Amino acid sequence: MIVPVRFKRLAWSIWALIVLAAGSSAVSAEAWRVKVQGQGTDLGETPVVVELKTAVPPGDYVLKSEGQGKFIVANVFNDGGKTYLGLVLDRVSASTPETYTMQPGVVATNPPGVALKNDGVNVEVSTGGKLLTRYVADFPTKPYYFPVIGPTGAPVTRAYPMQKVEGEDKDHNHQRSFWFTHGKVNNVDFWASDPLNGAKPNFGTIKETSRKTAVAGYAVGLIRTTDDWLGPKGEKVCQDERVIRFYNTSTARVIDFDITIKAADGPVTFGDTKEGMFGLRVASSMDVQKKKGGKITNADGLTDDAAWGKASPWVDYVGPVEGKTVGIAILNHPDSFRYPTTWHVRTYGLFAANPFGWHDFGMKKSGDHTIPAGQSIRFAYRVILHPGETASADLPNAFQGYAKPPIVEVRAE
C-alpha cells in the first residue's frame, strides 16, 4: 500500500476549503458527481486515469467526499481525441462505494500538482513543486529519463555516464538511467547502441518523431510521443507510440509507462536475447553486490540472483541511497504482451523487464516473436519509487490497484 502523508492530506483539505469558499471567482456553478467503487480489494493510495463519457471541460478540479468531508484533487485533460479524468485516491473500499462532488478548483499560487517545463526539446517534470525527472529526447541513440528522483529527494538511478559521481560504477555506458530498447529487432541492436560504445555495423537508433500530447495538472501529467526505430543505414525497422504518466502522490512517487510497437513497414521480429528492454540502472549504492543492504525481491518471494530470468508480475529493487532505504518497484500490467514478463534484473544494478530473453533465462522454447506487417504489440508498466523495504511498500496491494483499478463513474449534477 502506498501510504499517504496525513499532514499533506490536511493541508490539501484546508486549501480546498478555501477554494470552495472563495465564491464565483474560484468555483464555477458547474458540478459533477463522481462515484468510486473498488474491485474486490481495499486499496491504499491509488492513481487512476479513466476515460470520460460525460462532457467535462479540461482543467483542474477539487473533489469533496459526500460521506467523510475530505477533499482530493483531480484534472481533466484531452489526449488522442478522448477526454480523461486523472485523480489520486487516498483509499478505496472494496465493499462501500464513495461519492464525491467535483467542481473546478483554482489556486492563485503554487498549486500542488504535476508541472512540465519544456526547453523546446527536453521536458523537466516536477510534482508538488519538486523535480521528479527529466525527459531527454535529443540523445543520439534513444530517449531516456534522467535524473529520476525518489521519495527522499535523492536520485535513485545511476548518474553515469551523464554525470560522474564519486563511488558509482562506470560500466555499461548504454544503461542510461531509465529507458526502453531491445538488443535484437530484425537483428538490429538498439540496446547497446550508444555514442560511448562507438559505431557498430548493427547498431540502431530510436528517434522521437512527434509529441502528440503534453499535459500538466493537479493529479496527473502526461507525455505522449511517437518514435521511429531506425537501422544502421537509417532504414525504418518499426515505430512506437509511448505514453508516460506522472502522478502527484503523497509518499511514493509513481510513473506509468505504456508503449505500443507497430510493424508499420513489414514484419518485425523481436529476437531472443537477454539484452532488453524496459530498463532502469539503479543507484550504485543500491546494488546487491555492494553488500550494503541492496536486495531484489519478486512477487513469488525469490530474491537476488534467484529472481533473474523468472516470470513475475512485479519485482522490487531496494537499497540505501544517501543513508536512507528506498526501493524501485516495477509492476507489469496483465494486458501487457507476455504477462507476466521475465526479468533481466542483475545484482550489479541493472533492472529490466524483458519478455524475449527465454534462451538466456534457461527456457527450452525460443523467445522470438514476429509482429506481422501492420500489427502491433503493447507493453505496460508501473514504476513505484517508495521509501523503506519491500514489505512496507505493500506491493501486492499496489499491484491490485494497477491491474484492477477502481471503477470511476462521472455524471453531471
Domains and CATH numbers, the chain: 6-108+407-412 (2.60.40), 114-403 (2.70.98)
Give yes or no for a contact between 71 and 53, defined as CB atoms under 8 angstroms apart.
no
Q: Which three cell numbers stand for residue 275?
A: 539484452
As a whole number of angstroms, the distance between CA 207 and CA 259 comes to: 14
143-164: average pLDDT: 97
Helix (H) or strand (E) holding 392, with range, is helix 390-393
Instruction: Among 13-17, 147-151, 213-217, name the one with the lowest average pLDDT.
Output: 13-17
Is the model's pLDDT at 307 over the cut of 90? yes
C-alpha distances in angstroms, 191 versus 35, 137, 174, 187, 370? 44, 16, 7, 11, 18
pLDDT of residue 30: 86
Residue written as grid cell 523495504: 389
Spell out the residues 6+ positions from residue 149 whose beta carbon is closer than 8 angstroms to its own: 130, 131, 132, 133, 155, 156, 253
Composition of the chain by helix, strand, coil, percent to 5? 10, 45, 45
Is the model's pLDDT at 403 over the cut of 90? yes
Amino acid at 173: N
pLDDT band of residue 70 (cuts 50, 70, 90) is: confident
pLDDT of residue 234: 96
Spell out the residues 6+ positions from residue 320 whose beta carbon is closer than 8 angstroms to its own: 285, 286, 292, 293, 294, 326
Q: How many Cβ atoms are within 10 Å of 298's Cβ, its own excluded?
A: 22
Whole-prediction pTM: 0.93
pLDDT in tens, 12-60: 444 444 444 433 334 445 899 999 999 989 999 999 999 999 999 999 9
Q: Which is more confident, 9 or 247?
A: 247
Instruction: Among 107-111, 254-258, 356-360, name the one with the lowest average pLDDT.
Output: 107-111
DSSP assignments along 280-344, one per residue: EEB-GGG-GGGTSS-EEEETTS-BGGGGTT-B-SEEEEEEEETTEEEEEEEEE-TTSTTSSPBEE
227-232: average pLDDT: 98
pLDDT of residue 26: 40
Is the model's pLDDT at 126 over the cut of 60? yes
Give the rounded percent of residues in the chain with a pLDDT score beyond 90: 87
- Dihedral (Cα; 55, 59, 60, 61), 10-degree rounding: -20
Is the model's pLDDT at 135 over the cut of 90? yes
pLDDT of residue 107: 52
Average pLDDT, the chain: 92
76-101: average pLDDT: 95
As a whole number of angstroms, the distance between CA 104 and CA 62 comes to: 6
Instruction: Among 90-94, 121-125, 265-269, name the one with the lowest average pLDDT.
Output: 90-94
pLDDT in tens, 342-401: 999 999 999 999 999 999 999 999 999 999 999 999 999 999 999 999 999 999 999 999
92-108: average pLDDT: 86
Dihedrals φ, ψ of 152, to 5°? Answer: -95, -5
pLDDT of residue 16: 44
Q: Which three cell numbers stand for residue 157?
A: 538511478
pLDDT band of residue 109 (cuts 50, 70, 90) is: very low
As a whole number of angstroms, the distance between CA 144 and CA 147 comes to: 10
Q: Shortest CA distance to 84 belongs to which of 93, 97, 74, 92?
A: 74
pLDDT of residue 27: 41
Dihedrals φ, ψ of 374, to 5°? Answer: 85, -10
Q: How many helices (H) and strands (E) does the chain have?
A: 3, 25
193-198: average pLDDT: 97
As a whole number of angstroms, the distance between CA 249 and CA 87 comes to: 10
